[in-house]
Structure 1
Amino acid sequence: MLATTFALEPDFFERNCLARFLAVTSVDEDTGSADDIVARVELEERLREPTVTVLADRGAPAERSSLRWDVLHCLVPGGLLHSKVALLLWQHATRVIIGSANLTAAGYRHNIELAMAADLGETCILPRDVLHGIAAEIESYLDLVPGLEPDIPTRRHAVSTLGLFRSRVATQPPSRARLRAALAPTNNRTGPLSHLDEVWQGNAPLRATHVSAYWDEKSPAVLTQVAGLLTGRPAAQRRQCVAVTVGPGGEIPFPPSHKQYVNEVVQLGPLDDEPRVLHAKTLVVENNQFLAVLVGSSNHTEAGFGLHPRRRHRELNVWLGAALDSPEGQALAGLVPVGEPIVDTAAYEEPADEDEPEELAALPSFFGLCRLVCGDAGWELWLGLGDDPPDGDWSVRLPDGQGLLDRATWVAAGSPDMVVRPLVPDQLPFFLDVAWDAAKGTWAVVADDRHQLPPGPALSELASFHLIEALATGATTTQLLRQLRERVAVGQTGRIISDPLARFDAHSVLLRRGRKLAAALAGLERRLSEPVVTVDTLEARLTSPLGPRFIAEKVVTEHLASGTERAAALFTLAEVALSLGRVAWTETMRHIDKRAGLALVDEALKHLEELRLRIDGATGDLADYVARALQEAGRCIHS
């Protein structure tokens, strides 16, 4: 998943957008209950395989609660990152959403918004050139993130998602839709009005209808530019109107000074019975035979339409055009329902629009990229810094108030462009607090390798026999954790027993435990045999709590902590290695670079060998069996 937004509510995005995209079944109601903990764990587990990147404006919050998805803040010279698009890629489906809604509760729950969705396939309404143009426009946003150099892993993750999207677009059949479509971004080269002729057919336009949440009170540039497009005949039919919502006191969000440039101001809707804030943006241009509709993120301002010589936002829109008497044209014509004319005496009230804040405490570009890195010395924060520090004092702190860096310390160290600070594994921050001048903001932390992140306290509670039982029964870690917490809630401890006969198993009998292990390993092989669409997905499977590396680490750690069951630990290591050897990796990796995938499997085998060497006295017949199993697995993997 790759999405762009101006405003961002990380908590809403995680619990609603991400949870739905990843098909999370548990609900986090933020009450602190066991169910909330389970829901959080399920989301964390679901986030292991996909790559999720959000590109937001520099002023958007960074206070997310998971490092398993990336938020990158863009700094647009002379404007804002205002684009609102999402690329959703599942294993067998791809969807593109373009519209007006930010990744906020208001955008997805309460406002009046307008968006379009295009699913790749034979019925996709967007042609390949438009889809490729969307990918190129989004990729250009990566250059707006301070410090995001090409070799940074976080950037490679986003580029990989775009690469997968492009590969799917390349296999698209030619569009058979009767809609004409054209990409219409706002950037430093162009604006949406420049692309109308790419979809327009027939005689010149006669009429235009505007919907916008925000207007330049002192500039009618958008209205005059659109009026210049209305050159159709007869001239008496040329009309320009604006559709607005009416507030509880009769107020409207359209400046009275602009009424002289339009023929009519009309009420938008009605849509439903709920009081809603207008946040949609669209422009409908038509004559008596054809119409075109602009759908996307641009407010009807100079910055939104790219009409200002210096101030331009980055926007993403598309034009959709069709003959008015076609089913597609009729559908487009119904996008903007209009009601009664607004009386001339209606009061003007400038909206409190989340897209056009009066004050925006954007993090200065001096604070580049903050990376979380796990190296030989453990976890570290790499603070990337520019050459244009804020005037006066500034400081960077962990969320708990612990100081990491300030101006005096930085200057005393020689004003380096990178400052490294060590961390402890149970205190990895999701963001940092930054203060400069009289302003405060947050600095997002991005993990170079999210597969190295610790599992979190809830999953750390699970013992190896819990994980083995989950694999044997087909349960997920979420189901397992829920059962464990339910047992704790009623005062029970010990293993989760799903088989009544299991209570009679003697822990010292290796054979009976071997049967459970055999079922678990069969489950492990099935999980690893499922085809993957990215190398990142394969790495997630190998390192997840139900993956071979995590389970083997648990087994050995528990043995070293208790000093018992050495034979069982060695036997489990051997069987995990042999399971890796039995997977048909060529089939699993048919959609990815096989060489990169096999390198990850080799790393997993190397990890098992390192675990074998950690077991004291790992000699004798059983230890030799483990060594032979590792060798045999390596041979099978590469055969």
Structure 2
Amino acid sequence: MARLRPVDASQRKLLSAWGAPENAGKPIGVLATTFTLDTSLFEEECLARFAGVQSDPVRDGAIYRIEREERLSSLICAVVVADIHHCGGKRSLRWDLLAARPASGVLHAKISLLAWERHVRVIVGSANLTDQGYRRNQESFVVLEFDQNFTDQNLLEPLISYLQDVLSIASGPAIPRAQRLLAWVNANLPKDRVAPSKGIQRRVVLTGPGRADVFSQLVAMLPADGTPTEAHVVSPFFDKELRSYGPERRLWGILRQRGQAELHFHVAGEEAIESKRWRLEAPSHLLDATPKGRAGVSASIHPLRVTNVPTDGGSETRPLHAKTMTLSNDAWTLLMIGSSNFTSAGMGLSPQAQNYEANVVYMLRAGSSDKVRKLMGHRTLRGGNAVDTGHDVDFVPAFDSDGEESNVPALPRFFGDALMMGMDPEYFLLQIHVEGEAPPRGWSVRHEALTLLDHASWLGAGQPQVFESRVPRDKVPPSTLTVNWGAGANVAYWPVNIISADTLPPPADLPSFSLAALLDLMASGRPLHEALREWLRRQPDDDDTDVDGALELLDPHEKVDTSGFLIKRVQRACWAIKELSTKLVAPVLSESAMAWRISGPVGANAVLEALQKQCDPALPDELTFLLCELLCQLEADAEEGTLHVEMEYVGPIASMQEQFVAKVRERLEKSLAASSPQMQAYVRDATGKMCDGTS
């Protein structure tokens, strides 16, 4: 999709904001909120840019999945919170999808917090995390940058607090992961700095149940030297009727009450080619709130073209989805950009529904001739000349397209959390949590064509609050379940999240690596996906899975097959043990990073299995010796403290490491029983614990 024809540098591609700035360091984590969601757009475009994924999901197949898993595993978290009405879609279980269930209204805020080692970026705007929002619509957004040099706490602190509030209306094991990311941001940026009082001031306007409405917050920000005399509103959606408490009357209430006052609405419009008649996506009552019997007041509607919009690829149809509001007088101007439609719910005015909305305000105290003020005006989306609404205009308002009053059924509260608990050799193991009153008519929970739970089986099991279910591993890991209720009349999606990182299955489509191949991959200084790409390139045949033959032969004498020689095997195994130990003690940010190092395709478990596979069953001392060397190396690291990461969540990470050490010890004990007395004595001297097959 082509971009809008650039007027200035402010018109930028929204996806570009997900790429790391210069010298930002390694990615740390993502927390994003959205009303509607396209999981493929977030995963393959947004998240890939943030994490620095270079491979292509279509062209590179398994290599892309390896790179995605590797990069995402290194993050504290990657979490999206979406409104319960639109929370579904197939995805990698490496990132979490949480359903927000507001007590009032919907989760409509669009906030993306991106954290790198030395930089934090927050995107606030009108665009949902969808292909439509990021590639087609006319949207507005703000990018807020924070680093060690400058962090405006007037912006960051309320945003972090607000994201905590959003997490409180969701549930599931991803909540602590998201909270850790917010804690990391709070701990790693300076806390005692605010923006200077001169120049453009920035503030946030955040709404939701129990919070002040947009207009009350704006009034509190206005300078004391005069009320606004002019207002401009850009919005794609409006209330169905004029309300006594609605935004039209409220806005007129804060404009100048005596003398001149102007209100301009900029709405989506399409002009008929032949009749020149305008089709406006707005209700006619917008002008009905204009004060009557008062001189100097005016209200006008300006069409903002959505067809034949000039872009760098030609003229295209670009629906309006931006939301902005400008207030000004001769001495100052205020611009608000964000998610709030000009509706009662969007502005936090409705007694029935107060949406979660996020907006950023730019405030400048300067006269109308000021260059910076003029630049702010030029960078604001505006319509063309005002139309004569008494002639040649058709009002075709849009009310529900963005879902504030959506007819899309929400997943009933009866359906709580769907959790991936782990797997056995044949099945993925799920837990389905339900609570409260079940839907009144028959319901079912399915993964693709497989029914996991329905009303009858739930009743037959005694109406449990936690139901265990299994999905065959010949299917893709379930990331979203489908729920039907009301005799099939209603359908909603139910996201599945992992209970912990070590429950994830390894990426598909990978061969079982030999120890030689594992050593080759581990010894590479490049990321795993790059090393794997090179390894695959060296395969003698695309269908050949003999990884031993794929290793590059640098010495002509290596063309003699020595892989079966005992000394060669032991030498190679010792190299693998050293590489494995180095990787296990390197610092990590999260449990998922350690789980990847232990259970990933080139992880500790893979090395352990390859060690055992390469050993000659007729020589039990070989396996016993190698397991003893591995155990001694791991325990030496543990005694020095290098296995433990000094973070608040060190417990789960240390537990994963300890479980692997216990696994090695168990295999050593089993192998020791068949070993020679000499090897048993060696193990006794090396470990001081094991002898004659006992511990």
> TM-score category by the smaller chain?
0.7 to 0.9
Match of 2:438 among 389, 396, 419: 389
Distance in 1 (alpha carbons) for counterparts of 2:685 and 2:397: 75
Name 1:350's counterpart in structure 2.
397
Distance in 1 (alpha carbons) for counterparts of 2:684 and 2:146: 48
Match of 2:323 among 271, 281, 284: 281
Residue 459 of structure 1 aligns to a residue whose secondary structure is coil
Name 1:636's counterpart in structure 2.
none
Cα deviation for residue 134 of structure 1 reads: 1.5
Name 1:459's counterpart in structure 2.
510
Given that 1:470 and 1:477 are in contact with CA atoms closer than 8 Å, whether structure 2 keeps it comes out as: yes
Distance in 2 (alpha carbons) for counterparts of 1:123 and 1:350: 47
Cα deviation for residue 461 of structure 1 reads: 3.7
Cα deviation for residue 291 of structure 1 reads: 1.6
What runs of 5+ residues in structure 1 fail to find an aligned partner?
633-639
Q: Does 1:37 align with 2:66?
A: no
Distance in 1 (alpha carbons) for counterparts of 2:498 and 2:404: 31
Q: Does 1:370 align with 2:418?
A: yes
Distance in 2 (alpha carbons) for counterparts of 1:578 and 1:164: 35
What runs of 5+ residues in structure 2 fail to find an aligned partner?
1-29, 273-277, 291-297, 690-695
Inter-CA distance 161–228: structure 2 relative to 1 (3 Å threshold) = same
Write out aligned runs for 1:49-88 (5 A): 49-50=74-75, 51-88=77-114
Name 1:113's counterpart in structure 2.
139
Name 1:95's counterpart in structure 2.
121
1:193-234 deviation line (CA, Å, top 9, x unaligned): 22114433232222111111211131362122112111287x
Question: Paired residues, what number?
Answer: 617
Inter-CA distance 538–453: structure 2 relative to 1 (3 Å threshold) = closer
Q: Does 1:498 align with 2:558?
A: no
Given that 2:74 and 2:589 are in contact with CA atoms closer than 8 Å, whether structure 1 keeps it comes out as: no
Name 2:205's counterpart in structure 1.
184
Match of 1:307 among 345, 349, 370: 349
Cα deviation for residue 169 of structure 1 reads: 4.1
Q: What letter matches 2:62 in structure 1?
A: I
Cα deviation for residue 413 of structure 1 reads: 2.8
Match of 2:159 among 116, 126, 134: 134
Return 130-139 or 81-90, whichever deviates more. Answer: 130-139
Name 1:411's counterpart in structure 2.
459
Inter-CA distance 6–590: structure 2 relative to 1 (3 Å threshold) = same
* TM-score, normalised via structure 2 length: 0.80
Q: Does 1:293 align with 2:318?
A: no
Q: Does 1:255 align with 2:287?
A: no
Distance in 2 (alpha carbons) for counterparts of 1:624 and 1:268: 85
Distance in 1 (alpha carbons) for counterparts of 2:684 and 2:520: 26
Match of 2:490 among 427, 431, 439: 439
Return 269-278 or 582-591, whichever deviates more. Answer: 582-591
* TM-score, normalised via structure 1 length: 0.86
Inter-CA distance 464–3: structure 2 relative to 1 (3 Å threshold) = farther
Q: Does 1:229 align with 2:254?
A: yes
| Structure having the higher Rg | 2
Q: Does 1:449 align with 2:500?
A: yes
Q: What letter matches 2:500 in structure 1?
A: D
Distance in 2 (alpha carbons) for counterparts of 1:311 and 1:357: 9
Name 1:335's counterpart in structure 2.
379
Given that 1:432 and 1:444 are in contact with CA atoms closer than 8 Å, whether structure 2 keeps it comes out as: yes
Residue 509 of structure 2 aligns to a residue whose secondary structure is helix
Inter-CA distance 375–90: structure 2 relative to 1 (3 Å threshold) = same
Given that 2:644 and 2:653 are in contact with CA atoms closer than 8 Å, whether structure 1 keeps it comes out as: no
Inter-CA distance 452–409: structure 2 relative to 1 (3 Å threshold) = closer
Distance in 1 (alpha carbons) for counterparts of 2:495 and 2:540: 36
Distance in 2 (alpha carbons) for counterparts of 1:363 and 1:109: 28
Name 2:524's counterpart in structure 1.
473
Name 1:246's counterpart in structure 2.
269
Distance in 1 (alpha carbons) for counterparts of 2:481 and 2:140: 34
Name 1:380's counterpart in structure 2.
429
Cα deviation for residue 15 of structure 1 reads: 0.9
1:52-75 deviation line (CA, Å, top 9, x unaligned): 111111121422231111111112
Cα deviation for residue 153 of structure 1 reads: 2.9
Inter-CA distance 381–631: structure 2 relative to 1 (3 Å threshold) = farther
Distance in 2 (alpha carbons) for counterparts of 1:69 and 1:167: 23
More helix by share: 1
Given that 2:232 and 2:326 are in contact with CA atoms closer than 8 Å, whether structure 1 keeps it comes out as: yes
Given that 1:184 and 1:193 are in contact with CA atoms closer than 8 Å, whether structure 2 keeps it comes out as: no
Given that 2:90 and 2:480 are in contact with CA atoms closer than 8 Å, whether structure 1 keeps it comes out as: yes
Given that 2:37 and 2:82 are in contact with CA atoms closer than 8 Å, whether structure 1 keeps it comes out as: yes
Cα deviation for residue 168 of structure 1 reads: 2.7
Cα deviation for residue 330 of structure 1 reads: 4.7
Given that 1:97 and 1:118 are in contact with CA atoms closer than 8 Å, whether structure 2 keeps it comes out as: yes
Q: What letter matches 1:498 in structure 2?
A: E
Given that 2:118 and 2:148 are in contact with CA atoms closer than 8 Å, whether structure 1 keeps it comes out as: no
Q: What letter matches 2:185 in structure 1?
A: F
Inter-CA distance 207–588: structure 2 relative to 1 (3 Å threshold) = farther
Inter-CA distance 43–181: structure 2 relative to 1 (3 Å threshold) = same
Q: Does 1:22 align with 2:22?
A: no
Given that 2:148 and 2:190 are in contact with CA atoms closer than 8 Å, whether structure 1 keeps it comes out as: no
Cα deviation for residue 600 of structure 1 reads: 4.3
Distance in 2 (alpha carbons) for counterparts of 1:631 and 1:98: 60
Return 56-65 or 485-494, whichever deviates more. Answer: 485-494
Cα deviation for residue 430 of structure 1 reads: 1.7
Cα deviation for residue 538 of structure 1 reads: 4.1
